[in-house]
Amino acid sequence: MNKTVAIVLAAGKSERLGGELPKAFLSILGRELYQYSLQMFDQHTQIDSIILVVPEQFLTPTKAKHKSEKISLIAGGETRFESVSKALNHLDKSVENVLIHDAARPFITKNLIDNCLKNLSENNAVSCAIESTDTLVVKDADGNVDSYPDRSKIMRIQTPQAFRLDLLKKAYSLALKESKTDFTDDSSLIQYYGLAPVSLVPGSEQNIKITYASDLLLAELILNGLKEGAGK
C-alpha cells in the first residue's frame, strides 16, 4: 500500500493577527486551533502518519500532549517554506504521498481529505480550491484598477494539498538551489518549475484560514454551528 503522510503546519508567527500566542495555539471553544485539523488527519484511516510542525518553544509542551505513535512533532523554520522543507527532510523513503495542511484552517473535513487522495491516485499534484464570490481586479502601479480578469477562470487556493513526495522534494530542491523561498503554498512551486499540472478539487467555503482577529469570531460561529448540527 502507498504510504501517506500528512504535514500539519502550525509554526507561523501570526504577525497579521498579533497577540501573545501564535494563532495555532489559541484556544477556540476549549481546544487549541491546531487540534481541530490534527484530529481530522488522526481519525482518517488512509493517513498513515502525521508530522505536526510547531514553533521551537512549543515543541516540548506539545509533544507531551500527543503520545500517539501516529503523530510526530518537529520544530518549524522562519518561513512556511522552511517549515515544509524541514518536514520533508524528516520523511523516510517509504513515503509516497504527502498531504500538506495549514493548521490555520481548522475546518478541514474528511470529505476534503478523501477528495484530495482520490484525485492524487490519478494526478501527481492536487490542491483544494474554491470560486471567488468577490469581483477580483488587477491594480496598476498607481493603485487604480488596471483590468477585470474573467472571474469564471479565477479560483482561490486552499489547503489541504496533496503531492507525490518525490515530485514535491524535487520542487523544494530546485527552489533551494536558487534561494527562491517566498512561496505561500506548495502547489505554486510545482507550477513555477513546470513539474506537473496541479489538479484542482473543490474546497469548501467553511474551510476558512484564520488570518485576522475577525476570523476568530467567524471560527467560533462556524464551530457553534457544527456543534448544533451534530447534536440534531
Residues that bind ligand CTP (CB under 6 A): 9-17, 24, 53, 76-80, 83, 102-104, 209, 211
Judged by phi (left if over 0) then psi (alpha if -120 to 50, else beta), residue 178 lies in alpha
By beta-carbon proximity to ligand CTP, the closer residue of 155 and 208 is 208
Are β-strands 31-32 and 49-54 bridged in parallel, bridged antiparallel, or unpaired? unpaired
Q: How far apart are CA 114 and CA 201, in angstroms?
A: 10
Residue-wise over 55-64: b if at least 16 C-beta within 10 A, else e? beebbeebee
By beta-carbon proximity to ligand CTP, the closer residue of 49 and 55 is 55
Residue pair 33/62 in contact (Cβ under 8 Å)? The answer is: no
Output the smallest distance, CB 226 to ligand CTP, in A. Answer: 20
Output the smallest distance, CB 82 to ligand CTP, in A. Answer: 6
Q: Which residue is nearest to ligand CTP (CB)?
A: 12
> Residue 205: helix, strand or coil by DSSP?
coil
Output the smallest distance, CB 66 to ligand CTP, in A. Answer: 16
By beta-carbon proximity to ligand CTP, the closer residue of 31 and 123 is 31
Output the smallest distance, CB 8 to ligand CTP, in A. Answer: 8
By beta-carbon proximity to ligand CTP, the closer residue of 14 and 97 is 14
Output the smallest distance, CB 183 to ligand CTP, in A. Answer: 11
Residue pair 126/32 in contact (Cβ under 8 Å)? The answer is: no
| Close Cβ partners of 64 (under 8 Å, ≥ 6 residues apart) | none
By beta-carbon proximity to ligand CTP, the closer residue of 62 and 83 is 83
CB atoms within 10 A of CB 119: 17
